[in-house]
Structure 1
């Protein structure tokens, strides 16, 4: 309507000019100046109305945007809450799996060794020997319970100190079973592992030695620890009956094999298993920080 009024002013001025030319309407000559001011006022009203509409539209847009942002924040908060709950459940599940692996590799291995010692003993074990076996089980259970605080544990100063408890525990059992054991341990670390890596490697070697005691029927066992810059290699070899590695892995029935593979991966290593009649080799190579 304002734009129509502007055009109406031009029409009136045009008619005034026409009548002036025809001498039929005598008016003042300042119509042009007055019409210019009137046109400017009408244009200002027109632009002001458009500006007001645009401002109201911007306000509506800002209000809608604020509502959408609030909805998006609420949805994001719900998504983060669900993700946090899932992360907690995954952490709990992983912790349960770690505890299960520790129980299998630690306490389970000790139980297997104790059962093998009792079954293969030709005479009844004295009470002192039975008490010693129970103390070993107690120590393994304590080690599993204290696993959560192992991050602050002290790394053994040398590979010999790391292997000493394993050698002491297994050599006595192997001797009683008539299995000759040879331990070739390097005197010094080239790159020191972490406490968690030491604990994981201990559990892995325990599982491998328990399998030798339980299944291999071996007469000779050799354990090697060869450190090098950035790498630690551990190798357990026996002359037992052996087994089909591909068949065991394909069947998926060996908890010990899966446990050792998973533990090697968790500590940054890789497990290699080779087996045949008269020779079985279990090795793990652990990457270390130099």
Structure 2
């Protein structure tokens, strides 16, 4: 991307964000005005509610007295006249009506008060979110308004760092390929030929009485076959063919199976996400990270179970290796790393840093170890 084009894009983004910022300011002011109006209305409702409650209490007392008066005049017809009875009845009825009316008003005011309080809380939340957006917009504007050349340099530097890391890893793997090819074409073929020659000699000797020589040749054949098997293991460790042919996930499945058979440690592998081919250097890096983590389990953990979890996210690969071993104190391991005595973890950290990822370790004595690695996927870093 040309710097001028990037400059135009950033300027357009700044203009849009400046306009949006002022619109958000207007929204904030409108929300503040609405909140002030609601607070004033709430205060009025609270005052009126207080007065209404006092009035309800007063009318209730008057209504009780009116009922007592009505009972008295209704019992003694000799003492009170018909007008006294009618007056007491009308007064009691009036108090009852007023009491019902004010109670209804009290309920209405309380409901209005609760509704206003809820609306004020919602308005406060809206205002808080709007102010947070304004703050974020200001931060972005300050960043975008800075030196464009510096931004471009940062972008190019970040890209170059990962490209450099991938190139280093690819160079290492090319060397491993060369060694594997030489062993396969040279030493492995030679040893296979030795086995063939010893079988011929063995068949020839069976016709004669050279028993001791035959036993020696049989033993030699067994040793050579063992050597061939060992060479094949070396070739696989240098560069698994499944990694090139099928990808990192099938290669890891095969690695986990072989690890369990060789180490007698119960192993579990879980993959989440959609399996897809990654850039070759990244697949190699993931494989080597897992390989090193499992090697540390064998050397140090004294574990009976180890679990590998690989998750493909949209722009990230997450790798988690968990064991139930003896664990360690993080302070102690950091000191060993500083002294350069724990090469396995040093190598893992260097590989992760080359890919601009991050690695975290969780462990405690007797509680096992959990290593989590996050590696960003940058598909524009493919090899030519």
What's the TM-score once normalised by structure 2's chain length? 0.37
Say which structure is richer in helix: 2
What's the TM-score once normalised by structure 1's chain length? 0.48
Say which structure is richer in strand: 1
